[in-house]
């Protein structure tokens, strides 16, 4: 119901000749107007907060953020990716994308329009600040672990840093002599991530290249392929790109999101935002710093907490992590 229709449905003030009753009705109208205006303002999503929008016009569909700087477009009733985009910039009202073919897209929340190379394309339907789960599975996101049997050995791959991995080959329990107990033999090597695309992660140890193909579910070596029988996409401190936070009662209050390599934003659901630089990460946490306020944030996925400290004071728990991406 619109504001005008709500007002039109109010009982006319002329039904009572009591000055007190008329005054009370006027006060009630004023309170309702303030409440409705505040509610409408609280729902405004700006360019720094938006992570997805629906659109209408000659076609209907949606643009959805799938990674720190990656977006995809879907057409209505078709969950196959129609187009992919790279996010270049944001300002108070717009998100600016570049399509894979070089076309420029502006999602303008002030004018509620989407522009293609500067020309009107669609009307913005419903914007949302919700983080979108990565689709498909390998689209720019970090794989945490995968396991595959290869004859008598088991091969596992685990991400150990922002672009570092470790491959472990376990040969199973073996008895070396009659006087020794069974012992599991394993050997490991470190790998460097050199590239990734929609479905694969590409690694090398400096001599041999390895591809983790999530579409075919295979480890692809130069001379053989090994089927992946177990796959785990587990969120940790190295592959986290955003979290939704709230209070102890589970009420959502906002989100932290990585908007570029080493660059994060805190977006409060009330419309406030702060800028952070990432200082470092470990297995469970990302550490951020806002130099303008000398504020430090630890996003701790092990304890599911957002921790805060100002200057040289000790860290303290500030918010609870409700979800991560």
The answer to whether residue 301 scores a pLDDT higher than 60 is: yes
Residues 116, 150: one domain? no
Separation between Cα atoms, residue 226 and residue 282, nearest integer Å: 30
Residue-wise pLDDT for 71-82, tens only, equals 889 888 776 778
Residues 124, 167: one domain? no
The pLDDT, as a whole number, for residue 26 is: 63
Q: Which of 201, 232, 263 is the last residue of a domain?
A: 232
Please give the tally of structural domains in the chain.
Answer: 4
In a domain, 139, yes or no: no
Residues 65, 102: one domain? yes
Residues 36, 56: one domain? no
Residues 158, 223: one domain? yes
The answer to whether residue 218 scores a pLDDT higher than 90 is: no
pLDDT band at 85 (very low <50, low <70, confident <90, very high): very high
Separation between Cα atoms, residue 299 and residue 287, nearest integer Å: 6
Arithmetic mean of pLDDT over the chain = 78
| Of the listed ranges 52-61, 114-123, 167-176, the one predicted with least confidence | 167-176
| Of the listed ranges 43-47, 128-132, 140-144, 170-174, the one predicted with least confidence | 140-144
In a domain, 91, yes or no: yes
Handedness of CA 218, 221, 225, 227 (dihedral sign): negative
In a domain, 140, yes or no: no
| Of the listed ranges 231-240, 264-273, 315-324, the one predicted with least confidence | 231-240
The pLDDT, as a whole number, for residue 186 is: 79
Q: Which of 169, 197, 232 is the last residue of a domain?
A: 232
Burial of 10 (0-12, 13-18, 19+ CB in 10 A): exposed
CB 216 within 8 A of CB 202: no
Phi, psi of 60 (to 5 degrees): -125, 150
| Of the listed ranges 3-7, 152-156, 259-263, the one predicted with least confidence | 3-7
Q: Which of 214, 232, 250 is the last residue of a domain?
A: 232
In a domain, 135, yes or no: no
Residues near 318 by Cβ (< 8 Å), separated by ≥ 6? Answer: 305, 306, 307, 308
Q: How many other CB atoms are there within 10 angstroms of residue 33's CB atom?
A: 13
Sheet holding 153-159, edge to edge: 225-227, 218-220, 209-213, 200-204, 183-196, 164-174, 153-159, 145-150, 230-232
Residues 167, 221: one domain? yes
Phi-psi region of 257 (alpha: psi -120 to 50; beta: other; left: phi over 0): beta
In a domain, 216, yes or no: yes
pLDDT band at 33 (very low <50, low <70, confident <90, very high): low
Residues 118, 187: one domain? no
pLDDT band at 42 (very low <50, low <70, confident <90, very high): very low
Q: How far is CA 113 from CA 49, 59, 72, 233, in A?
A: 17, 13, 17, 36
> By residue range, what is the domain housing residue 113?
52-128
Among candidate residues 69, 75, 193, the one with its CA nearest the CA of residue 134: 69
Residue-wise pLDDT for 116-145, tens only, equals 999 999 999 988 876 544 333 333 345 545
Separation between Cα atoms, residue 246 and residue 229, nearest integer Å: 37
The pLDDT, as a whole number, for residue 56 is: 93
Separation between Cα atoms, residue 138 and residue 143, nearest integer Å: 8
Between these two residues, 259 and 9, which has the higher pLDDT value? 259
For the chain, what percent of residues have pLDDT higher than 70?
A: 74
In a domain, 137, yes or no: no
pLDDT band at 233 (very low <50, low <70, confident <90, very high): low
The pLDDT, as a whole number, for residue 39 is: 40
Residues 151, 228: one domain? yes
Separation between Cα atoms, residue 6 and residue 207, nearest integer Å: 72
The answer to whether residue 190 scores a pLDDT higher than 90 is: yes
CB 192 within 8 A of CB 203: yes
Residues 38, 58: one domain? no
Residues 160, 226: one domain? yes
HSE (side-chain half, CA atoms, 13 Å) at 67? 22
Between these two residues, 182 and 146, which has the higher pLDDT value? 146
Among candidate residues 243, 239, 236, 216, the one with its CA nearest the CA of residue 228: 216
The pLDDT, as a whole number, for residue 74 is: 86
HSE (side-chain half, CA atoms, 13 Å) at 49? 21
In a domain, 64, yes or no: yes
Residues near 263 by Cβ (< 8 Å), separated by ≥ 6? Answer: 275, 276, 277, 278
In a domain, 47, yes or no: no
Residues 84, 27: one domain? no
């Amino acid at each position: 119901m619109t504001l005008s229709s709500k007002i039109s449905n109010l009982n006319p003030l002329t039904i009572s000749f009591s000055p007190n009753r008329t005054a009370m009705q006027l006060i009630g109208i004023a309170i309702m107007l303030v409440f409705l205006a505040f509610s409408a303002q609280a729902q405004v999503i700006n360019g720094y907060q938006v992570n997805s929008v629906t659109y209408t016009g000659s076609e209907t569909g949606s643009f959805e953020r799938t990674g720190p700087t990656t977006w995809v477009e879907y057409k209505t009733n078709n969950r196959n990716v129609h187009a992919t985009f790279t996010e270049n910039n944001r300002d108070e009202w717009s998100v600016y994308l570049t399509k894979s073919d070089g076309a420029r897209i502006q999602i303008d929340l002030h004018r509620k329009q989407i522009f293609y190379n500067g020309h009107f394309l669609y009307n913005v339907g419903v914007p949302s600040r919700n983080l979108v789960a990565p689709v498909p599975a390998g689209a720019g996101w970090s794989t945490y672990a995968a396991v595959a049997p290869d004859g008598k050995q088991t091969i596992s791959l685990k991400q150990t840093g922002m672009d570092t991995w470790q491959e472990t080959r376990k040969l199973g329990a073996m008895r070396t002599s009659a006087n020794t107990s069974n012992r599991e033999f394993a050997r490991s090597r470190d790998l460097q991530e050199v590239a990734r695309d929609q479905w694969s992660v590409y690694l090398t140890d400096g001599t041999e290249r390895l591809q983790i193909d999530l579409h075919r579910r295979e480890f692809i070596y130069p001379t053989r392929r090994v089927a992946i029988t177990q796959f785990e996409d587990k969120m940790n401190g190295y592959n986290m790109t955003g979290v939704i936070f709230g209070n102890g009662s589970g009420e959502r209050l906002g989100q932290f999101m990585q908007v570029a390599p080493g660059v994060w934003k805190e977006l409060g659901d009330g419309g406030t935002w702060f800028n952070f630089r990432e200082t470092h990460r470990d297995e469970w946490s990302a550490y951020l710093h806002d130099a303008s306020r000398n504020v430090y944030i630890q996003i701790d996925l092990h304890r599911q907490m957002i921790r805060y400290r100002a200057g040289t004071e000790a860290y303290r728990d500030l918010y609870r992590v409700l979800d991560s991406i």
